[in-house]
Amino acid sequence: MRSTDFTHVEGDKVKMVDVGAKEEVARFARASGVIHLTAQTMGLIKEGNVKKGNVLATARIAAIQAAKHTWETIPLCHQIPITGIDVEFEVGETTIKAVAEVRSVGKTGVEMEALCAASNALLTIWDMVKAVEKDETGNYPETRITDIVVEKKTKAKQ
* Catalytic positions: 127
In contact, 41 and 125? CB cutoff 8 Å: no
Give the alpha-carbon dihedral of 88, 28, 149, 70, to 10 degrees: -90
| 3-state SS class at 5 | coil
Nearest-angstrom CA–CA distance, 141 and 75 = 32
Q: Which helix (H) or strand (E) holds 33?
A: strand 25-36
Closest CA to 29 of 84, 72, 69, 74: 84
In contact, 76 and 16? CB cutoff 8 Å: yes
